[in-house]
Every structure is written in structure tokens, then in C-alpha cells.
Amino acid sequence: MKTSVTLRSRKYMTNKVSLYLDVYHRGRRRQKSLGLFLYDQPNTRKLTKWELKHNEDTNELAETARSQYYYELQTGQMKMIDRRKAKQDFIEYFKDFINFKKEQKVRNIQNYNSVLKYLVKHSPEGVRFEYLDYEWLSSFRTFVDRGTKKNGKPISQNTKVNYFDKVIAAINEAHKQRFIDDNPADLIERFTEPDPSRNYLTEEERDRLIATDCCLSWLKTAFLFGCRSGLRYSDIRALKWNQVGHSKNTGYYLTFSQQKTERVVNHNISEAAFQLMGEKPKDLSQKVFACLPEKLSNTENAVLQNWINEAGIAKHITFHCSRHTYAVLLLSNGVNIYTVSKLLGHKSIKTTEIYAHIIDKVKQEAASIV
């Protein structure tokens, strides 16, 4: 049976091309990444001597790899995968992958179940590992890219990144366990993260909201509390009076387990935030914001946006923007980023840096006016 191994290239960055092997063996075609790249000739300049030398050396290395791979295929010396594993179904493997994540108590396990539904819809008859190649993964990527919500609207870029990366993680794990020989995840183009912009209110806009009536008073109070405390909606909804404390030295504080991260935090709040909580009841096991539903309905979100509009604020604002507002106002008033990161309960300061970029952008825009 004919065997061929051809060196090919594909553009993967503005000025670079990746090298891979186009392999035809035992009646099947697949692609094998070499982890090598060449500098592409840009339109604006010539390649430097160093870039030309890099290309020359890399082409020589790639050709050596191609010859070696072809020789190993022809002589049967290739370290082949376990053929019994190759016959197994990737979607069944992904189910086991989900169970493993459950045992690790990974957050948002429901996202993995959503990905499983996409896999089943894309490949209702399953896909054996021996057919899990670049073509299949590329097809699944396109399927995710065209994904829609229940209401028919396209899924967000964040969802595309989230779903596809989970499949990539499972494939990488399967490759380590030798279910597949060549990893198609090495060749595929991943979805890019969306622009990390955050809608927020300025201090003046927040004060205008305070002075503007809202037909749902509990929604107004909870949103303003979010602006003053930085808590997520889920944490505001779950907050109980027995989690509220006061100290002469530090003032008011909250001690609670974050719904998203399950980490217990001690969170200081201002006098203004405490006043929004209302009168303290005798039964301290009661929720502070008992009126909040598990999730805001479309109608309640519309009420929130109408309240924003009536205050003369031309921005698309969701409840979570109260948390963004809290972070931006702290940074604007000189609170250092490490303190803000702790107050927001971020695991990594990189997440908080998004808000610092917003402040920098605001400063640049202000400077351009003068």
C-alpha cells in the first residue's frame, strides 16, 4: 500500500508560516505538526539575514524530520498507538473526561455538559480516535463557530473559546494516553479571546442613578449595593445577616463563601454600602436581599436598562456592571491594583489588570481633549 510523507506549510501568524507533514499511510491521510515555523516575506521589507538563516536551518531540519518519519513508517519502526484504543469512541471518552473533572470538583461543570451536547450534535454516530484528525477537528470548530442559543441568537465569542478549548484539553489528554498518534490540536487555529472591555458607570453617573427612581425598588437597591461593594449578583443574593460584622478598627465587613469560587472571604464594605442593606432583623439567618430571584428575568433586565436610560446614561448596563463600576472607581480614586484584586476576590491579578487598562484608556482620551 502506498505511503507518502510531504512537507507542507500553512500561514498561522502575520509574518510566519508553520510547517507540518502531510502523511498518507494505510489508506488514510493525516497531518502531523512539526512545531517549526518559517518567517514569511513581508510586504513592507526584506527578510533580515538572521531570518533568512533561520529559514534555511529550519527547512533543513524539517526535511530531516520528514525523511525520518517516512523511513519509520516504511520499516514499521514507528511507535504506534494502542490499536484497541484507536477503535474507541472520543465522545464516550469525553464523558469519562467530564466525570474526572467532577471528581476534581471543577467549577462550572455544566459547561462541559454543554460541550458534550455539541459533540453529539456534530457527530451523532460518534467518532473513533483513529478518525480524530485535523479535518474532523476543523469541522467541529466550524460547527461551534456557527453555534446558536435557544433563542436562535449566535453564541458569544467567550462561549466559543470556552467550548472549543475544553475539547482541545480532552484531545491533549487522549494524546498523552496514546489514544491518538498525531495530535490534531497542534495544527488547529483556536478561537481568540474577545476584547476585554467592561461597561461601567462613572462616579457622576452612579450619583445620577441614586437620584433617579426605579419601578423595582429592590432592584435599584441591590444594584447600588453592587456598585458600593463589588459583589457578584450570586453573592449578593446569597448574603445573610449572620455574615455581616462590624469592628471599631475596620468598620463593616462581610464573611462569606463566594458562590463562583467557593472560597471564604472577609470583605470590607463602606458605611454607604451598609446603609443600603436596610434594617437588621432579629433573625440573623435571613437573607439581606430576600427579594432577589435566582436569576434576573428578561423583564427585570429591561427594567434595569430603562432605569439607566431615564437617568440620562447612554450605556448598555447589566447587573454585573455594578461590579465593574466598583473596581474602576476604586482604581480611579488611587487604590492600588493589588488591594482591588483582593477586594474583588480574583485569584490572579491578571484579571484585575483589565480594569487598569480601562483607566489608562480613559486617561489617554482625556489627554487628547486638551
DSSP, collapsed to helix, strand or coil, labels residue 35 as strand
pTM of full prediction above 0.85 = no
CA 114/CA 165 separation, integer angstroms: 13
Is there a domain that residue 265 lies in?
no
Same domain, 45 and 69: yes
Is there a domain that residue 270 lies in?
no
pLDDT tens digits for 185-233? Answer: 887 888 887 655 578 999 999 999 999 999 999 999 999 999 999 999 9
Same domain, 213 and 317: yes
Q: Which residue has the higher pLDDT, 40 or 367?
A: 40
Is there a domain that residue 269 lies in?
no
pLDDT tens digits for 19-74? Answer: 888 888 777 787 877 777 888 877 767 888 888 888 888 888 888 888 888 887 77
Same domain, 309 and 347: yes
Q: Please, what is the Cα angle at 179 between 177 and 181, to 5 degrees?
A: 100
Q: How far is CA 167 from the centre of its chain?
A: 14
H/E stretch holding 313: none
Same domain, 96 and 128: yes
Same domain, 107 and 211: no
pLDDT on residue 364: 57
Same domain, 133 and 170: yes
Same domain, 170 and 23: no
**What CATH number did the domain enclosing 362 receive?**
1.10.443.10
Among 75, 101, 133, which residue terminates a domain? Answer: 75
Q: Which residue has the higher pLDDT, 77 or 254?
A: 254
What rounded mean pLDDT belongs to the chain? 86
Same domain, 152 and 300: no
Closest CA to 261 of 106, 99, 89: 106
**What CATH number did the domain enclosing 91 receive?**
1.10.150
Bridge partners (DSSP) of residue 287 are 240
| Average pLDDT for 119-131 | 92
**What strands, in cross-sheet order, belong to the sheet with 28-39?**
4-13, 16-25, 28-39
Same domain, 102 and 15: no
| 122-126, 180-184, 316-320: range with lowest mean pLDDT | 180-184
pLDDT on residue 151: 86
pLDDT on residue 77: 55
CA 311/CA 234 separation, integer angstroms: 26
pLDDT on residue 352: 81
> Domain total for the chain?
3
pLDDT on residue 258: 87
pLDDT on residue 196: 53
Bridge partners (DSSP) of residue 148 are 154
Among 75, 110, 132, which residue terminates a domain? Answer: 75
Which residue segment(s) compose the domain that 38 sits in? Answer: 4-75
Sign, CA dihedral 24-27-31-32, equals negative
| Average pLDDT for 155-168 | 91
276, pLDDT greater than 90: yes
Same domain, 213 and 329: yes
Bridge partners (DSSP) of residue 32 are 21
C-beta pairs of 17-26 under 8 Å, 24+ apart in sequence: 18/187, 19/58, 19/62, 20/187, 21/65, 21/66, 21/69, 23/69, 23/73, 23/182, 25/1, 25/73, 26/1
Q: Please, what is the Cα angle at 151 between 146 and 156, to 5 degrees?
A: 45
